[in-house]
Amino acid sequence: MFSDTPDMHSSTPETDALREAIFAYARTRMAYDPVPLDSPQTLEFLKDHASGTVTEQGMGGIQALKVFDEVLAPACLSTDHPGYVSFIPTAPTEAATLFDLVVSASSIYGGSWMEGAGAVFAENEVLAWLAAEVGLPETSGGVFVQGGTLGNLSALVAARHTAAGERERAGLPRPLRWKFICSTEAHSSLKSAAAVMDVDIIKAQVDGEGRLTGEAVRSALAEAGDGVFAVVATAGTTNFGIVDRLREVGEIAKSNNLWFHVDGAYGLAAILAPETRHLFDGTELADSFIVDPHKWLFAPFDACALVYRNPSLAKAAHTQHGEYLDTLTESGDWNPSDYAYNLTRRVRGLPLWFSLATHGVSAYRKAVSQNIQVAKEIGEYIRGRADLRLVREPELSVVVFEKLGWQLADYQAWSDKLLSSGTGLVVPSSHQGRPNTRFAIVNPATTTHLLVEMLETME
Ligand SMILES: *Cc1c(COP(=O)(O)O)cnc(C)c1O
């Protein structure tokens, strides 16, 4: 007797029913307009209401779906709710979300060309389009990784590997410490990358508007001493949406033979909008850049597009060598796993590809522009109110403001009220020790009208 396929891998009336129930759930979730915001829950509540689901015998899919629908899902915030404007929200198009279901249903291995050529080809079409917008040559290329944190780390690993190789070929010893330069307003993921890589960060000061300038990089370089391998500019800071002086910074990096990385996880999407495109002048100098489709390119979690000017430098740094992999690595094919700190990967660029193919680039330009317009309008409204003050002029779609006289506890109480009424999520933030709050607008359903309504409840 040979063994049978276990029941859970066979098609049965139960799996047929479950398939229909799951599709019905997904259909209902996608048709909400607007989706309920929902709210976080305590561990105690969830222990009381959703413990004991993992058992030897199983509870059945319909029952498990019921637990998710009635207890677990309502205990998760809908980050695509129009009033969710904290952190960086998400606002996937329907086409992108639908195609995420297809990706899940398709068991495509996205690490190698041999296994996933069709999907990898489509992902690369998207990366090539982004590279062209940014101004990188046709020979550039990269990979969709999980998020900007992994994208930044992977780019910096490639940068150091390249610098180490150059030193070795020049007969120079390794520096005591490797270092990279970024601004004081750069994203926290760079600090994480530095910790993982055991390298130092040289923080360059920003100007009065929160921007990294060429001058600041020059001073940082003068102080840094030996071992600098990269300069990182931020194309849209997470806190304020400020774009560094990319051309100045890039030119100084180039003239010092340093890798120039552009962290555009949030803001680089605004290169698509005609009114903000000029801010990104100089991106074409980048050796690598990232932009997160799950932030401002209307794709679902989780996806970061990571692109290198010269992908062979990334490949030299990242390719994994193992006996069972040799048949792939020796093929000469384009294997996405070679271009980042990853091996097995979901083809997470496909939802964006499908949505772009469906709607066309110009729909993306319009959607990004609309978010910027809303930021401008709410900025003007705030300027017109005597009790509110803009902390900085909005440049992209982040608006940071204070209510005069408010302490952190006031912002928190207001935030709690908005959340408990299901209106929105607007958590407190701070700048230089002063509490404030912030709208991050990346959802085309987030209207100026809705934001004004929220501001009218600040009392
Ligand atoms: C969000 C963000 C990151 C990190 O991206 P994740 O996808 O959250 O890992 C890095 N840099 C900037 C500028 C960001 O806004």
Cα angle for residues 437, 148, 287 (degrees, 5° grid): 120
Nearest Cα residue to atom 14 of ligand 1: 265
Give the tens place of pLDDT for each residue, 32-71. 999 999 999 999 999 999 999 999 999 999 999 999 999 9
Q: Ligand 1 centre and the CA of 149: distance in Å?
A: 6
Nearest Cα residue to atom 2 of ligand 1: 265
Q: Tell me how far apart the alpha carbons of residues 447 and 459 are, in angstroms, rounded to a whole number.
A: 21
Q: Give all strands of the β-sheet with 141-145 in edge-to-edge order.
A: 141-145, 304-308, 288-291, 259-263, 228-234, 179-183, 200-204
**Most informative mutation of 88, 90, 146, 149 for ligand 1 (most atoms within 8 A of CB):** 149
Can you read off the two tokens belonging to residue 374?
């809303």
For the Cβ of 265 lying below 6 angstroms from any atom of ligand 1, the answer is: yes
Q: What are phi and psi of 308, to 5 degrees?
A: -115, 140
Least Cα distance to 347 among 357, 359, 335 occurs for: 335
Please give the residue that has the higher pLDDT: either 285 or 2: 285
Over residues 129-148, the mean pLDDT reads 98
What percent of the chain stands above pLDDT 90? 95
> What number does the ligand 1 atom closest to the CA of 146 have?
7
For the Cβ of 266 lying below 6 angstroms from any atom of ligand 1, the answer is: yes
Can you read off the two tokens belonging to residue 260?
């120039």
Q: Is pLDDT above 90 for 7?
A: no
Least Cα distance to 53 among 41, 42, 64 occurs for: 64
Q: How many CB atoms lie within 10 A of CB 57?
A: 5
Q: Note the pLDDT of residue 6.
A: 83
Q: Note the pLDDT of residue 62.
A: 97
CATH number of 100-359: 3.40.640.10
Give the tens place of pLDDT for each residue, 321-359. 988 888 888 888 999 999 999 999 999 999 999 999 999
Give, as one character, the DSSP assignment of residue 430: E
Q: Note the pLDDT of residue 168.
A: 97
For the Cβ of 263 lying below 6 angstroms from any atom of ligand 1, the answer is: yes
Q: Tell me how far apart the alpha carbons of residues 322 and 90 are, in angstroms, rounded to a whole number.
A: 37
Confidence of residue 1 (pLDDT cuts 50, 70, 90): confident
Least Cα distance to 380 among 388, 105, 456, 37 occurs for: 388
For the Cβ of 185 lying below 6 angstroms from any atom of ligand 1, the answer is: no
> What number does the ligand 1 atom closest to the CA of 148 have?
5
Q: Ligand 1 centre and the CA of 370: distance in Å?
A: 22
Give, as one character, the DSSP assignment of residue 4: P
Can you read off the two tokens belonging to residue 38?
């929902």
* Bond from prior residue into 302 cis (ω within 30 degrees of 0): yes
Q: What is the DSSP string of 251-318?
A: HHHHHTT-EEEEE-TTGGGGGGSTTTGGGGTTGGG-SEEEE-HHHHSS--SS-EEEEESSHHHHHHHH
Three-state DSSP class for 183? strand
Q: Is pLDDT above 90 for 5?
A: no
**Most informative mutation of 87, 144, 189, 438 for ligand 1 (most atoms within 8 A of CB):** 189
Over residues 78-105, the mean pLDDT reads 98
Q: Note the pLDDT of residue 221.
A: 98
Three-state DSSP class for 34? coil
For the Cβ of 147 lying below 6 angstroms from any atom of ligand 1, the answer is: yes
Least Cα distance to 446 among 343, 368, 337 occurs for: 368
Over residues 111-120, the mean pLDDT reads 98
CA quadruple 15, 17, 18, 19: dihedral sign: positive
Residue recorded with tokens 């996608």: 30
Q: Note the pLDDT of residue 340.
A: 98
Q: Tell me how far apart the alpha carbons of residues 314 and 325 are, in angstroms, rounded to a whole number.
A: 18
Residues in the chain: 459
Q: How many CB atoms lie within 10 A of CB 63?
A: 10
Q: Is pLDDT above 90 for 11?
A: no
Give the tens place of pLDDT for each residue, 370-413. 999 999 999 999 999 999 999 999 999 999 999 999 999 999 99
For the Cβ of 187 lying below 6 angstroms from any atom of ligand 1, the answer is: yes
**Amino acid identity at 376:** K
Give, as one character, the DSSP assignment of residue 225: -
Find the range with the poorest average confidence among 6-15, 222-231, 237-246: 6-15
Q: Ligand 1 centre and the CA of 186: distance in Å?
A: 10
Q: Note the pLDDT of residue 329.
A: 82
Q: Ligand 1 centre and the CA of 337: distance in Å?
A: 21
Q: Tell me how far apart the alpha carbons of residues 333 and 48 are, in angstroms, rounded to a whole number.
A: 52
- Domain boundaries 362-455, CATH class: alpha beta
* Bond from prior residue into 34 cis (ω within 30 degrees of 0): yes
Nearest Cα residue to atom 3 of ligand 1: 148
Q: Ligand 1 centre and the CA of 283: distance in Å?
A: 18
Give the tens place of pLDDT for each residue, 228-269. 999 999 999 999 999 999 999 999 999 999 999 999 999 999
Q: Helices 311-318 and 148-169 meet at what angle, rounded to 10?
A: 90
Can you read off the two tokens belonging to residue 99?
């195609």
Least Cα distance to 304 among 349, 252, 270 occurs for: 349
What's the chain's average pLDDT?
97
